[in-house]
Chain A
């Protein structure tokens, strides 16, 4: 048993491909837990960052700097009365949040956190992700219809119209990235290394193609890769119903949109699914255009010395976080009222430092690197999501449709054709 475990560590394929069922289950559990923790962290960060953007303090009362606020919220949601409206279609009302959460988490099966750190690698990876992500719409439609109320129905109608129109632009951008896996572009652009002549849809192979061609696809065929990436980055905000495209839950017009009638635990499932879907589409963008698990400049700054230097980054990040936490602890008021908070924050800071120390150990360092770079790129996208919300006013629905159909889709098709031309010329 133990030997099996140790043997697995030396393999360089994903557990799904190796057929190691125990590891598949372990990976799924780890991903589920990690995503849930990330959602909790996002909940806190979003409030704090938005507050600071608007020159407010944000949550400050529950725990030091409001760190325990998400847990208090979770507790509140669990204890809240679970209401099903009288006229609601009970079965569909019950199914809707389950469908939304299931689809949001199913996409994580193929996300490559590293060359071996994915549940499995499918040869239709990206297609699978887009397909399952589009199923989330069904859950939203079901929720809106089953509530038997006007606001949710309007919200879900908007959601489905929005998703159907932006999915096309998204698909075009994705296809142009997939096209790049087979086109080395040595003709006109004259950059890059060797690559397969056969394209691929597998998430891991797409990242491998970027490694072999010595370029992230966002910078390939400049500016075509960047344009496709931009189209995807806009479409993905619309797909996840986030500001400035959050019309399905526009509170000024529709109360809370499709989840108006939901409360308590069911509502928190929608919340969980929304953030899980945000992380999932961000990881598509990272995999397709930003080199997935690759560290910055793996070839330009290649060699063992640079490899070692870059492998200290995960530990360094945790040390910086620990340092910031301890500095905040020092600066807390010297009143006895703050004593418990101060101890708690201090212990939290020391914990972060301890994690940093563990990450310094060479075997851990080597294994954690790719996950770190992937996570840090996805975290950048999550910050962008919050930034958009703090910056852009909400679109009107006709503006949204105009942007989708009259700008994004033609631009997507144009980029696709131009990419194909740039590849064969």
Chain B
């Protein structure tokens, strides 16, 4: 089945992603920010689908939306929002922030200008039907060692978090 109206889907998803990302940092209420974050992550999942990566989209929904944002909301509900909203929301770090934002902007512009030379016009399209199998083969056959190292690192991080959080083990 051929894709239909792809540019409209892309612009729609991109608009939702950007607008809700702005809402994440603009809202004073952290719960509203977390809910806006859900919309950003969901539209990113849609964009992954458009890039013929359904497996990545599914994992994005399960891990980020279903797992991480749920934990965010869980933590936010345990803290006292009322007292936090009255606190001053900005640090006086605008110079550093301005430099960082300008740097990122320059990077974006550079990629936009030089990108056509670096990236091929039409990226190689993987077969959509076998996306999951291809990801599995990449991770467990071609790049087994780096993958295992990464998972070992995550294990160390988990143990470290437990050690730091618990006084008496």
Chain A residues in the interface with B (C-beta under 8 A): 16-19, 89, 92, 95, 122-124, 127-128, 130-132, 134-135, 137-138, 141-142, 144-145, 153, 156-157, 160-161, 163-164, 167, 198-201
Contact = CB atoms under 8 A, between A and B. Distances in A.
B1 interface: yes
**Interface secondary structure of A, over-half rule:** helix
Nearest to A141: B73
B77 interface: yes
Nearest to A129: B58
A161 B38 contact: no
Contact of B74 (A18, A89, A124, A141): A141
Contacts of A16: 1
Nearest to B136: A199
A263 B40 CA distance: 31
24 contacts: A16-B1, A19-B1, A19-B2, A92-B31, A124-B57, A127-B55, A127-B62, A130-B62, A130-B66, A131-B62, A131-B66, A134-B70, A135-B65, A138-B66, A138-B69, A141-B70, A141-B77, A142-B35, A145-B77, A160-B70, A163-B70, A164-B74, A198-B133, A199-B133
B59 interface: yes
Interface string B35-59: 1001000000000000000110111
A137 B68 CA distance: 12
Contacts of B54: 122-124
**Interface band, chain B:** 20 to 34
3 tightest A-B CB contacts, nearest first:
A134-B66, A131-B61, A127-B58
A164 B71 contact: yes
A167 B31 CA distance: 23
B67 A161 contact: no
A124 B129 CA distance: 9
Contacts of B57: 124
Interface string B118-160: 0000000000111111000000000000000000000000000
B73 to A, nearest CB: 5
Given A124-B132, A164-B70, A131 B35 contact: no
Contacts of A123: 54, 128-132
Contacts of A122: 54
Contacts of A164: 67, 70-71, 74
Contact of A135 (B55, B61, B129): B61
A167 B132 CA distance: 21
- Highest count of chain B CB atoms <10 Å: which of A16, A131, A137, A200: A131
Interface of B: 1-2, 29, 31-32, 35, 38, 54-55, 57-59, 61-62, 65-67, 69-71, 73-74, 77-78, 128-133
A95 B128 CA distance: 34
B59 A92 contact: no
A273 B109 CA distance: 46
Contacts of B62: 127, 130-131, 134
Nearest to A91: B32
A147 B137 CA distance: 47
A127 B58 CA distance: 6
Given A124-B55, A138-B38, A164-B70, 6 more contacts: A17-B1, A89-B29, A92-B35, A127-B55, A142-B73, A145-B73
Given A124-B57, A138-B73, A141-B73, A131 B65 contact: yes
A100 to B, nearest CB: 14
Contacts of B1: 16-19
Contacts of B130: 123, 198
A134 B67 contact: yes
A144 B31 CA distance: 12
Contacts of A138: 35, 38, 65-66, 69-70, 73
A125 to B, nearest CB: 9
Q: Which of B29, B57, B61, B78 has the most CB of A within 10 A?
A: B61
Given A123-B129, A123-B132, A145-B77, A137 B61 contact: no
A157 B132 contact: no
Nearest to B58: A127
B69 to A, nearest CB: 7
A157 B77 contact: yes
A132 B133 contact: no
Nearest to A182: B133
B161 to A, nearest CB: 16
A18 B1 CA distance: 7
A198 B57 CA distance: 21
A374 B32 CA distance: 41
Contacts of B55: 124, 127
B49 to A, nearest CB: 9
Nearest to A137: B70
A92 B61 contact: no
Contacts of A157: 74, 77-78
A333 B55 CA distance: 61
A376 B95 CA distance: 66
A65 B158 CA distance: 57
Contacts of B38: 138
Contacts of B70: 134, 137-138, 141, 160, 163-164
A123 B55 CA distance: 8
A210 B38 CA distance: 36
A18 B2 CA distance: 10
